[in-house]
Structure 1
Amino acid sequence: MSLPHLAVLLVAGLFILGPERLPQTAAWAGRALRQVREHATGAQQRLQEEFGDDLREPLEQLREPLQQLNALRNADPRRAVVNYLLDDRADSHSTTPRSSPRGLGSGEKPPFDADAT
């Protein structure tokens, strides 16, 4: 919580509870929060003692598939098509020389048919 949020809560508490009961209520809320933290810490320690690393290993195995699923969730079909098309175009316009279908040499010119043009 930020400072403005706390100030709003303090002012609201002052109007709702009054100046007499506000300190008692704040002390009670602080004790309750402290107890919740202690219970959470104790439960975490007990789980760690009982399961140890037995629980950590399956969670680590699930991490990569969950990341893949998250990537699929954020996938955009348009972007996938554009990426596919651009990757395909980049492969077809590669800088490596290709052999001609007729087997022309590197310096040989293709045949020219004046009647066909």
Structure 2
Amino acid sequence: MFSSLGWGEIVLLLIVALFVFGPDRLPGIAKDASGALKKVRGFVTGAREQIRDELGDDFADLDLGSLNPREFVRRQLLDDDPPPLTKRSNGAARSGSGRVSTTKPTSATMTDAGAPAVSRPAPPLRTAGETPPYDADAT
């Protein structure tokens, strides 16, 4: 969290605190801040012990670092698993490696609700000089 905070910034914060709070109140504020930090550490330690007691052996399998969104994205980006199949414009499934699957797409696919999916014909392709349609209400 404070990995980008260097010594220069810390000294600057201390000087600002000295001017804002004054030399008389600064030791008391530092003492109160350290007491609050100790309380927070105690709460976190107590919560961790309570989770460990309630989960038992499953706590060893619980990786709290994997719940961090940055770690999740990093793991997904650096994972060596093959990418999922993607649809090509002609309906054939294509993997990330460029191989085309041999399975034929079914004509009557079902949606999650159980109703057959409605397929619409693809819009016609435009020529090189033709401009795309413009809808003034949509912009």
- TM-score for both structures, normalised by structure 2: 0.41
* Greater Cα radius of gyration, structure 1 or 2: 1
Higher helix share: 1
- TM-score for both structures, normalised by structure 1: 0.48
